[in-house]
Amino acid sequence: MEGNEETFLHGAWVRGKMIGSGSFGVVHLAIKKSNGALFVVKSSESQEGNLSLEHEAKILEALYSPHIVQCLGKDVSVGENGGMKTSLFIEYMAAGSLGDVTERLGRKLDEPVIRAYTGEILKGLKYLHDIGIVHGDLKCQNVLLDSRGNIKLADFGCAKQTHPKSKNQTTNKKFMCGTPLWMAPEVLRNQGLDSSYDIWSLGCTIIEMATGKTPWGELGISNPMAAMLKIASSNERPSIPKEFSKDGLDFLKKCLARVPEQRSTVDELLNHPFIKHEPKAKNIEEKHVYENMCSPLSVLDMGLSDDGYESGDSDELTNLKLQSKIPFSIRRYGKKRSSQKQCAENEMVSHENWVTVRS
């Protein structure tokens, strides 16, 4: 990444409107003046935020896969408060997150689309698990889509290196990271984590796609501490959509086994009938998805800025996070506005929101 970083930073770039925020930093849309290329800047001036971005950059610089979001470089400068400010440059995914897509549609995704997206997520997880990396915070908001519906995994602030080709190689038991309602029971019990953690989170992500709600339903919103206690201490699993096919129900059960050793591996899930016999209906649904989304007319179309990459948290979900360990994991579950209204408001954004950062 170092060579690419030097090339990427050559010339001026402009920071645009803030499109997201997390526990330790903010996310802005940005543009490179030399060629008009859009990208995303994640930045922080806090010590913990800087450490998180350094960790994410270290993980991403070793990854190269069409299923993983690309890191374009990083920059360390003096912030407004006089301290160190770390900025991480990430490729821009025009359609936003899988959570944003579901929210814009205002409804749950159909099973054929869930099959297709799950298969793509599994390809990203396979790449990570084969080289001994656990993502650590898999959920819809950390799965990004481009304008063609291609999927990439993002937000590696909670990623952890384990041993390659190992299903159940436990890491540091003091390590706890992620978003609580998507966490596996053993992780909430602080018993360590391995690649099976991502499999549990995948099951929760499928439920999120199928219902448009957080796993564990209303309990997670109304009483997050009770939900965390249930995840860690009970024998229950999050509610599985009853309308799912037989293959879909079996797939979820293999993801949501409470005993880590009983969960299926990525390779086993890729060969499961739920994925293996994927219907060819994805394109039809995708057309409906993107007809309901704001499409940019040019690289300067500010209609992208509010929902392009990450979205702000609602007050309800603030208490769901481990504030010291989840730097850029954000999700909106508040009141929804129509895509038309959102586009109209975005078009009113002044170009004064763009400021030159580097020359």
Annotated active-site residue 110? The verdict is no
Kindly calculate the radius of gyration of the chain based on its CA atoms and give it in whole angstroms: 20
Cα–Cα distance measured from residue 168 to residue 162, given in angstroms and rounded to the nearest whole number: 10
Closest listed residue to residue 18, CA positions, set 359, 353, 357: 353
Residue 172's contacts (CB-CB under 8 Å, 6 or more residues apart) are 160, 192
Q: Which amino acid is at 349?
A: V
For 47: left if phi > 0, alpha if psi spans -120 to 50, otherwise beta; the answer is alpha
Residue 150, φ and ψ in degrees, nearest 5 = -70, 145
Q: Which two tokens stand for residue 307?
A: 């929902």
Q: Which amino acid is at 143?
A: V
Cα–Cα distance measured from residue 118 to residue 105, given in angstroms and rounded to the nearest whole number: 18
CA contacts within 13 A on the Cβ side of 359? 2
**Contact of 103 with 148, CB cutoff 8 Å:** no
**Contact of 43 with 26, CB cutoff 8 Å:** yes
Catalytic entry in 100, 137, 307, 313: 137
**Contact of 184 with 228, CB cutoff 8 Å:** no
Cα–Cα distance measured from residue 304 to residue 308, given in angstroms and rounded to the nearest whole number: 5
Closest listed residue to residue 176, CA positions, set 185, 167, 165, 168: 185
CA distances from 240 to 144, 150, 251 (A): 24, 26, 11
CA distances from 208 to 56, 154, 348, 351 (A): 25, 17, 32, 36
Instruction: Give the residue numbers marked as catalytic.
Output: 137
